[in-house]
Structure 1
Amino acid sequence: MSEPDVLFEESGTRPWILLFGPVLAGVGIALESLAPGGASLTLWLGVGLLVLLYTLLLVRTRRRYLRVRLTASALEQGTTSLPMSQVTSVRPVDDEHHGLRVLGDGPVVPRRLAPVVLRLSDGTRAVAWARDGAGLRRALEDLLRARAAS
């Protein structure tokens, strides 16, 4: 079975944030080695490990609940999936998305993410979201245009 073509995708977070703990430990060791008495290696390695574990949990959670993936058959937001057969149009950009059903795992559009309002086949509206809201909007509009042309 082949993987469907991905038209738009966001992972939820960038993996480079995992470097924060090891870099913090390295900088701490380097700066403290300049002080009299030398560096507390075990202390800084412990701090680096704790920060790494925390950011690992953060990255894993964000990748699970804030990922966006659009294929010809479905729009996935977090752990939920909306069949594209239910989407009839993309609404114009406005602030009138409050009170609408938000796709994904939360009751509101996640902070710092752009809303994209969709009209569904049952006549209701729902709010999709992405870091690159304009990119998701373009991908959805292109998909709906291609579907209408065929």
Structure 2
Amino acid sequence: MDRYVERGASWTALAYGPGFALLGFLAELLTGATHTVAWVIVGLGLAAITAPWVYARRRFLTVRVTGEALWQGRERLPLTDIAEVADVGAPTGARVLGGGWTTPNKYDSLPIRLTDGTVVLAWAKDVEALRTVLQEARTA
């Protein structure tokens, strides 16, 4: 059961390319000459280009808290390893969860103290919600 989920991207982004192509086709209808096949190819091409981007963002930038673990991308951190999530300072060089060198762009960091005393950086777009869920999950 998921207590918290923050997807890296939505599959609805695949509709942007075909939507753009539809707008182009409708604009051509106003001029009289239409290139239906070309617009279909453009729409499918843009959707095909967008699909790997959405897949990668969903795989590597999804934040999830289950009953047992915090998932940051493909990295799993058991909740039993978390000692503290409130008032933890982030030391220079703290390891970023999820395998990256830095916190992903447009994400805020949340320092977490582990039971072994080390501090790691979790990340989310809504850090306060993640902190609240992690505090509740630790006490449950």
Q: If the length of structure 1 is used for normalisation, what is the TM-score?
A: 0.86
Q: Residue 94 of structure 2 corresponds to which residue in structure 1?
A: 100
Query: RMSD between aligned alpha carbons?
Result: 1.6
**Deviation at residue 93 of structure 1 after TM alignment:** 7.3
Q: Which residue of 2 aligns with 1:10?
A: 6
Identity %: 36
Q: Which runs of 4+ in 1 moved over 3 A?
A: none
Give the Cα separation in 2 of the matches to 1:105 and 1:47.
35
Counterpart CA distance in 2 for 1:140 and 1:25 is: 43
Q: Partner of 1:33 in structure 2?
A: 29
Aligned position for 2:109: 115
Residue 22 to residue 93, structure 1, CA distance change in 2 (3 Å): farther
**Where does residue 120 of structure 2 map in the other structure?**
126
How many angstroms apart in 1 are the aligned matches of 2:87 and 2:27? 53
**Cα–Cα, structure 1 residues 144 and 111, in superposed 2: closer, same or farther, change >3 Å?**
same
State whether residues 86 and 120 of structure 1, in contact with CA within 8 Å, keep that contact through their aligned partners in structure 2.
Answer: yes
Deviation per CA, 1:20-51: give whole Å up to 9, x if none: 01111110000012124x11112211111111
Partner of 2:53: 58
Q: Which secondary structure state, in structure 2, belongs to the residue aligned with residue 81 of structure 1?
A: strand
**Is residue 85 of structure 1 aligned with residue 80 of structure 2?**
yes
- In structure 2, stretches of 5+ residues that fail to align are none
The gaps in structure 1 that reach 5 residues or longer are: none
Q: How many residues align?
A: 140
* Closer/same/farther in 2, CA of residues 145 and 88 from structure 1, 3 Å limit: same
